[in-house]
């Protein structure tokens, strides 16, 4: 488990093309779900073991914020966030689809152990650098996802305000801010590399 991770908030369907690729409606307000802190593990040359008996598993690469202090109404993202990471929101897709059809909570599909690996943190950049830099996910050496905050349906500011108002937001909470189009299957032996611009932040191998 990653040290100093409190609540793990996740934003679903925050990129229009991703919502469309899975046949989901674009939400009118941020769609928030949680993962247990036990799901957060280091994504730093790690071997990550995932359930092998629960059907199809998908990777979802995301920009992840770490909250540096307890939220006070009116705070900006720059005041709240000191560092960020990239992460993989692993999803048991068959389980997830079944839960959605039944209107049940997503926890069994999203909250299993090792379901939220995080790269080492880097300093949270200024708005201009954030918008000028893409993050990418390479699977087995091939780029499969590319995202940018400019393409998010809900801005980082909107996300932190929404979560704070409804659920609370405090020191060492992390927020997975949504995945761009290009999600796909994961099998044992796959390798992942996560880049911020041209900087490699973390790698992992699926055990």
Ranges of residues in the chain whose predicted pLDDT is under 70: 17-22, 24
* Res 143: pLDDT: 98
Q: Which helix (H) or strand (E) holds 57?
A: strand 57-59
What pLDDT is recorded for position 19?
56
Averaged confidence pLDDT in the chain = 94
pLDDT in tens, 45-92: 999 999 989 999 999 999 999 999 999 999 999 999 999 999 999 999
The CA distances from residue 166 to 31, 70, 184, in Å, are 12, 14, 31
Instruction: Measure the CA–CA gap between 172 and 44, rounded to whole angstroms.
Output: 19
Q: What is the DSSP letter of 140?
A: T
pLDDT at 61: 98
Q: What is the pLDDT of residue 17?
A: 67
100 close to 28: Cβ distance less than 8 angstroms: no
Q: What is the pLDDT, as a whole number, of residue 8?
A: 98
Paired sense of beta strands 184-185 and 57-59, if any = antiparallel
Position 68 scores a pLDDT of: 97
DSSP H helical segments within 11-62, as ranges? 16-21
Distance CA 156, CA 78 (A): 10
Distance CA 85, CA 121 (A): 5
Q: Which H or E element spans position 79?
A: helix 77-80
């Amino acid at each position: 488990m990653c040290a100093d991770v409190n609540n793990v908030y996740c934003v679903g369907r925050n990129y229009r093309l991703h919502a469309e690729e899975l046949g989901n409606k674009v939400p009118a307000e941020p769609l928030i779900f949680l993962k247990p802190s036990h799901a957060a593990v280091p994504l730093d040359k790690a071997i990550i073991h995932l359930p092998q008996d629960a059907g199809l598993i998908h990777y979802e690469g995301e920009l992840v914020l770490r909250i540096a202090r307890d939220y006070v109404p009116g705070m900006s993202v720059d005041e709240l966030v000191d560092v960020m990471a990239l992460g993989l929101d692993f999803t048991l897709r068959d389980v997830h689809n079944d839960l959605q059809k039944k209107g049940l909570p997503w926890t069994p599909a999203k909250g299993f152990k090792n379901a939220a690996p995080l790269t080492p943190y880097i300093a949270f950049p200024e708005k201009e650098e954030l918008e000028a830099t893409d993050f990418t996910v390479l699977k087995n050496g091939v780029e499969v996802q590319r995202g940018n905050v400019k393409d998010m349906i809900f801005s980082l500011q909107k996300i932190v305000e929404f979560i704070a108002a409804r659920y609370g937001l405090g020191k060492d909470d992390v927020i997975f801010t949504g995945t761009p189009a290009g999600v796909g299957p994961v099998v044992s032996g796959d390798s992942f590399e996560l880049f911020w611009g041209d900087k490699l932040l973390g790698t992992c191998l699926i055990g």
